[in-house]
Amino acid sequence: MADYGHDLQFGVFLTPDAANADRVLELANLAEVLGLELVTVQDHPYQARFLDTWTLLSVIAARTSTIRVAPNVANLPLRQPVVLARSVASLDILSGGRVELGLGAGAFWDAIAAVGGPRLAPGESVDALAEAIDVIRAVWDTGGAAIDHEGRHYRVVGAHPGPAPRHRVELWLGAYKPRMLALTGARADGWLPSMGYAEPGELPAMNEAIDRSAVAAGRSPVEIRRLYNLNGSFEAGDGFLRGAPEEWVEQLAGLTAQAGVSTFLLAADDEQTMRRFATEVVPGVRWRVQEAREAAASAPTAAPVQSPEPARSGPAQAGPAATADAPFTVAPTPDDGTRLSEGAPWDESTRPAGPPPDPSRRYTPEQLAAGRHLIDVHDALRAELGRLREILEQVAAGDSDPAALRSFFNRMTIRQNHWTLGAFCESYCRAVTAHHTIEDRSVFPHLARSDERLGGVLQRLGEEHETIAAMLDDADTALVDLVAEEPRALERVNEAIDVITDAMGSHFSYEERELVEPLARLGFY
């Protein structure tokens, strides 16, 4: 089997650099704003330059609202399985079900031994991992009896299970050798190799080993998600993921078709790479894979590939064969009327309204996800504004440098103009211009063509976008004066950011109120 039919997911693989902790958190927040699904962090507890992985993942989860987090992969020899299981479950509960667990058998044994961990031979480390999986899942099974495990590597006597995670946590294994691949097929929810240890051309043969083990264990190979840690550059060069975004699109879509990879995690510690990946590569891969799947499903002799689970998030448009089986349940964020500034940038009473939703209409899960996507993006941007205000308070208290405040402001996704729905669509369409022009596929024109009753709303939203852009420029001017220590500059910055916060809150609520249902009904394109 090549394409296993899983929903596509994209994320990043961050370095937990303690010397740049704020930067790591900003990148994690940016990943959410850009619409990625996962933030993962390597786990090397013996490395003094790194932040502790679980502490970092907890802070990332607290500062985000939709993106999922995972260790990539947890260093099992230094993470006792009962404690690890409870750490995972606790964070999953606190984050609203946004944690997955990558596990590794261990490596760098000198470093592990130097901090008091065991030094295991390769075969022993696989045995220890197999035992740990039993223990971890027993801890999560709160309907089970007390845990008694007498193993060669772990001993648990009468421990009470719990807490249970909020959702069914996926357990992914970083595996390369035959015994680890066999364990993945028999016991894991996902396979998580990395470029450099498993090159793209090696993946199909490894998949076959996993599939054989799955079948031997009475499982379907489709039950196992195939993930891949990526390294790449957008500068021209030879080799895999060395070149323009269009080349990345073809190569990653090819990995889905030929090696069943459905989750791509890019090692990236800079904004520009993340932005290009999220806005120029990810949409194109989604499009190419969707095309291929639709072509395969419509072929006379082809049996349609059934996804083992519904799509979790993202702007995918529902296909015609999807079952519309639910009312519209997506709730736009209400405007609570709270204002920080005097006056208003516009008269809210003059805002046009679109058509009311049809209460009898039914929607597919994919359509509902499309409606939620705008709210998810706005939630991440609201969090970004909150972080800006935190830094402003630190500057006012003398605990932060004004230059750091301006630097953060100009790195914000809102400031980079990726926050409007139209800009999001243009980024998406840039990757699929072989099919349609950017103008033809832009969200607002699409909605206007599809339902003329939305024309007034879309025009007003566009006008408000321009007003907010001018506010952002005014705030930056005030920040320049603050860095230069001009009189009253801090007061002006406070006023400018209050105005932006009020305008954004009002605008986001209006946009959600008028567009989440049309987006679900009509799609992004």
Answer whether residue 26 shows pLDDT above 60.
yes
- DSSP 8-state class, residue 157: E
- Tell me what the mean pLDDT of segment 359-377 comes to: 82
pLDDT of amino acid 167: 96
Q: Are the C-beta atoms of residues 260 and 3 closer than 8 Å to each other?
A: yes
Whole-number Å distance between alpha carbons of 525 and 522: 8
Q: Where in the chain is CATH 1.20.120?
A: 349-522
Residue-wise pLDDT tens digits, 33-57: 788 999 999 999 999 999 999 999 9
Whole-number Å distance between alpha carbons of 311 and 288: 17
pLDDT of amino acid 372: 81
pLDDT of amino acid 442: 58
Gyration radius (Cα) of the chain, Å: 24
* Cα–Cα–Cα angle for 379, 381, 385, rounded to 5 degrees: 115
- Tell me what the mean pLDDT of segment 485-504 comes to: 94
Report residue 125 as tokens: 């480390």
pLDDT of amino acid 109: 94
- Domain 9-296: which topology? TIM Barrel (3.20.20)
Whole-number Å distance between alpha carbons of 467 and 47: 48
pLDDT of amino acid 525: 62
Mean pLDDT of the chain: 88
| CATH number, domain 349-522 | 1.20.120
Residue-wise pLDDT tens digits, 281-301: 998 899 899 889 888 887 765
Q: How confident is the model at residue 140 (pLDDT cuts 50, 70, 90)?
A: very high
> In sequence order, what are the residues at sequence separation of 6 or more whose Cβ sits closer than 8 angstroms to the Cβ of residue 331?
none
pLDDT of amino acid 301: 57
Report residue 406 as tokens: 């301006």
Whole-number Å distance between alpha carbons of 128 and 284: 41
Whole-number Å distance between alpha carbons of 180 and 201: 19
Q: Where in the chain is CATH 3.20.20.30?
A: 9-296
Residue-wise pLDDT tens digits, 294-335: 888 877 654 444 444 433 333 333 333 345 578 998 999 999
Q: How confident is the model at residue 209 (pLDDT cuts 50, 70, 90)?
A: very high
- Tell me what the mean pLDDT of segment 437-464 comes to: 78
> At residue 176, what are phi and psi to the nearest 5 degrees?
-140, -40
The pTM for the full model equals 0.72
More confident residue, 321 or 476: 476
Answer whether residue 434 shows pLDDT above 60.
no
Residue-wise pLDDT tens digits, 383-430: 888 888 989 999 999 988 898 898 888 877 677 644 454 444 444 333
